[in-house]
Amino acid sequence: MEFKAVASDGVVIEGELFSASTPGSECVVLAHGLPAPHLSAPDPDDEGYAGLARRIVPLGYDVAVFNFRGTGESGGHLEIDKWPDDLIAVLDFLDGHYGGRRTYTVVGSSAGGATAIIATARDERIARLITFAAPADYEFLELENDPAQWFEIYRKAGMIREGYPGDAQSWAAGFQKLVPKDAMVHCRAASITLLHGSEDETVPPGHLEILAGAAGEKAKAVFLPGVAHQMRRDERAVAALLKELRRK
């Protein structure tokens, strides 16, 4: 079932809900990472997060996938500091769909994981948080060294769209507004699982320890040897995720 959620500033977030056959199923929300159009061309055989959703549904979960603003068919521009509002808007939609306020499991990949951490510090409906390669902060991107280059990459990719009100500097500053390692201290989730691969070429593997330290005893940190950054495309990482989700 396709759906539209509306963020607090009116931006429309496009998504799809995959339903399990079990009435009253819990819902898992998948939050994607920051697209990297400058690094690789799209793989026509990659089913994306819809493919991952189909792996999760047989476990008895409904699964919601969506595009953050500026990506896919969602509206707005790619403004990372507004992504937590998009995720919360999806939860609001799901509450309406299910007919009442519920709790959710959020699985966030990379920047989606960082976004989920920020949202979990703000919204108690995220009862379980699982991350793939989440950054503790965005300093590793070194955006301040050449914000114009990064801005142009996403403008050419159609993610910073016509009418964007700021410039490259203000756009890059949005990344500095989100510090997941600080938000993790205030995380309201009852269960936190952090997954990271040893061969991550994008987010340094050391970010796992930083986030786990900030989360304290309620966090489970899982270091996966040999796994690179795109964890949803690695069967070892998917197996680890499915193992966690079986622990209802």
204-241: pLDDT as tens digits: 999 999 999 999 998 999 999 999 999 999 999 999 99
CA nearest to 48, candidates 28, 69, 71, 65: 65
In 3D space, the residue among 51, 81, 98, 109 whose CA is nearest the CA of residue 179 turns out to be 81
Asked if residue 37 has pLDDT above 90, the reply is no
Rg for the chain, CA atoms, rounded: 17
109-121 pLDDT per residue, tens = 999 999 999 999 9
Is 2-137+179-246 a CATH 1.20.1250.20 domain?
A: no
Q: How far is CA 102 from the centre of its chain?
A: 19
List the one residue out of 63, 51, 223 whose CA is nearest residue 131: 223
Dihedral angle computed from the Cα positions of residues 117, 122, 123 and 129, in that order, rounded to the nearest 10 degrees: 10
- Is 69 strand, coil or helix? coil
Cβ–Cβ under 8 Å, residues 109 and 132: yes
Q: Are 18 and 54 in contact (CB under 8 A)?
A: yes
pTM here?
0.96
Q: Output the CA–CA distances (angstroms, integers) from residue 214 to 68, 112, 113, 239, in the order listed.
A: 26, 18, 15, 26
Whether the predicted pLDDT of 40 surpasses 70: no
Over range 49-58, report the average pLDDT. 96
> Residue 179 has what pLDDT?
97
Mention every residue, 6+ apart, whose C-beta is less than 8 A from residue 68. Answer: 13, 31, 32, 74, 78, 83, 86, 87, 112, 115
User: 1: helix, coil or strand?
Assistant: coil
Q: What is the pLDDT of residues 171-183, one digit of tens each?
A: 999 999 999 999 9
Answer for the pair 14, 50: CB distance below 8 angstroms, yes or no: no
* Cα–Cα distance measured from residue 226 to residue 197, given in angstroms and rounded to the nearest whole number: 6
Mean pLDDT within 37-49: 73
pLDDT of 42 = 66
